[in-house]
Chains A and B, each alone.
Chain A
Amino acid sequence: MKPFTYLSPTTVEEAISFYGQHSETAKFMAGGTDVIVKVKEGWMEPDFLISLKRIKEMSELHKNEATKELSIGALVTHATLEKSLMIKNEYPIIYDAVSNIGSLQVRNVGTIGGNLINAVPSADGAVPMIALDGVALLHGPDGERSSDVKDLFLAPYKTILKPGEILKKITIPAQAPHTGSAYTKFGRRAAMELPLVGIGVLLTLDDDLETCTRARIVLGVAGPTPMRAFDAENYLVGKKINEDLLIEAGKLAADESKVRDSVRGKAWHRREMVRVHVKRMGLKCMNIIRANN
C-alpha cells in the first residue's frame, strides 16, 4: 500500500481545515472499509488520510423524544444500527438494509455515512434513508448546508459533495402513525453479496388502516443512482391498499426502473425482481402496520 500520513481531527472544523491545507492530496475516511481497499488497489493515492473517527458528534445515534426526529451521525456503524432495538422496532427498513451489508466484520467498522458517500448504485444504506425522507447535513469550507438524501447522488461514485465537504449526519423526520417500511436485498447468495436489486417500500395509511396517504418506493441498482419510483408511488396514494394494487405498483416500478445488463445480472431479471419484490415489501409494510395496531 502506498504510504500516507494519517490525520485524526477531533472536530469537523479541524477536519475541514486539514483538507484546506492539503486539498487534493488528502482524502477523508470514515470506517475505511471502502477507502482502504481503494488505496490498496491504487485507485486512490492520497498523501494524507483524514480520519473522521475521533469526531465524537459524528458517531451519535439519537432520537429526539419531543420532535421524534431521528439523528444518525455519519460515523454510526452499520452494526450499531443493526443492534439498536429502537431502529429494529421503529425503522425496520433501516434494520433490513444494514443487517446484510458486507459481513459482520465490515459492519462493525463500516459507517452509514461512508456507505452513502461511496455512492455505489448498490449502496444498501441509501435506500432506507431516501424512503424515510432523510436529510443529509453537509459541512464544508463554506459552512453548512443540507440536502435531501435522494438528491445526494449524481452518478456512480459521484455525489453533490464539494471538495473539502463532509457529510455530518442524516436526520429522519418524525414518522406519521400507521407507517410500515421494509427493504430486501435481492442477490444470488445470502451473505457477502452486492444486491442485484435492492427494493425499499414505505407506506403510511390513514386512520382507516386502508387508505394510503404516503408511499415511498425506492430502488437500488435499478439505475446509475438509487432512485424513487414516482409513478408507482403516485399510483398508490389515495387508494385503499390491497394485494392487486401492490402488484400493479410493482409493474409500474419495474417499468420506471432503469435497470441494465451487467456482469452480475441481466436487465430483464432485475426488472422482474423489482416487480415481484415491490409487491412483497408492500405486503410486509401492511403486516407491520396491522401488527402495530
Chain B
Amino acid sequence: MYEHNTSEQLGETLPMTTTISFSLNGDKISYEIKDHWTLLHLLREEMGLIGTKEGCGNGECGACTVIVDKLAVNSCLYLAIEADGTTIETIEGLASTDGTLHPLQQSFVDNGGIQCGFCSPGMIMSSKALLDENPDANREEIQHALAGNICRCTGYIPIFESVEAAKKMGGQNE
C-alpha cells in the first residue's frame, strides 16, 4: 500500500523530506524521511526491521504496536516525523545480543502464547509497556492493556497466562 518515490507526483516544490533523530532500541539513529511516512513504514520498508507487523493499517488490530516514550502506540497511525526526539522500542530490541530472550518472549514460548505468531510482536510490546509501568498488573489490567491487540488464532487465554507468568520472571526488566 505504500508508494515509493512519490515526490514526482507533487513536483519538487514541496519540502517533503526531513531528517529526524531518535533512539531505537538503545541506538541513536538519524534518518532522512518523507513527511507522510508512518513509523511502521520507516521501520519495516526503509530500515528492514520486519519484526513489527502490519495487520489492518487502521489502528484496529495492534499488530504494529511499538513503544514510543514508554507508551504503546500503533505505528501504522503514527507519523515517522513525530518520532523525532523520541525513544522507540520494537520487538527487535528485546532479546539480548547473545540471543537470550526477554522474559516476556520466553514466557510466550513456554506458555503457548504464540500460535501463528503474527500478533505476537504487538502483543509482547503492549505487554512490555504495561509491565514496565505496572509490574504487578492483574488479569483485568492485562486484558485492558491488550484490548487493542487482536489474535485471530484466538489464543487469548494462553497469552494472558504468558504475561502473568512473565511477571514472576521479572518481565518488567529491560
A residues with a Cβ closer than 8 A to B are 1-6, 32-33, 36-37, 39-41, 47, 49, 51, 53, 79, 99, 102-106, 108-109, 190-192
CB-based contact A3/B59 at 8 Å = no
CA distance A106 to B76 in the complex (A): 11
Q: Which of B2, B15, B35, B78 contacts A109 (CB 8 A)?
A: B78
Q: Which residues of B contact A108 (CB under 8 A)?
A: 71-73
Majority SS at the chain A contact face: loop
CA distance A39 to B1 in the complex (A): 13
B residues with a Cβ closer than 8 A to A are 1-3, 6-7, 9-10, 14-16, 18, 34-36, 38, 57-60, 62, 65, 71-74, 77-79, 81-82, 126, 144-145, 147-150
- Nearest Cβ in chain B — how far from A75, in angstroms? 13
Query: How many Cβ-Cβ contacts under 8 Å join chain A to chain B?
Result: 96
Q: Which residues of A contact B9 (CB under 8 A)?
A: 2-3
Majority SS at the chain B contact face: loop
CB-based contact B147/A192 at 8 Å = yes
**Known interface pairs A36-B77, A105-B62. Does A79 touch B71 (Cβ–Cβ under 8 Å)?**
yes
CB-based contact A104/B36 at 8 Å = no
Q: Which of A3, A33, A37 contacts B34 (CB 8 A)?
A: A3
Q: Which residues of B contact A41 (CB under 8 A)?
A: 58
CA distance A40 to B10 in the complex (A): 17
CA distance A51 to B81 in the complex (A): 11
Q: Which residue of A lies closest to B10 (CB)?
A: A3
- Nearest Cβ in chain A — how far from B75, in angstroms? 9
**Known interface pairs A47-B14, A103-B147. Does A37 touch B77 (Cβ–Cβ under 8 Å)?**
yes
CB-based contact B15/A40 at 8 Å = no
**Known interface pairs A6-B81, A192-B60. Does A106 touch B15 (Cβ–Cβ under 8 Å)?**
no
CB-based contact B15/A5 at 8 Å = yes
Q: Which residues of B contact A3 (CB under 8 A)?
A: 6-7, 9-10, 14, 16, 34-36
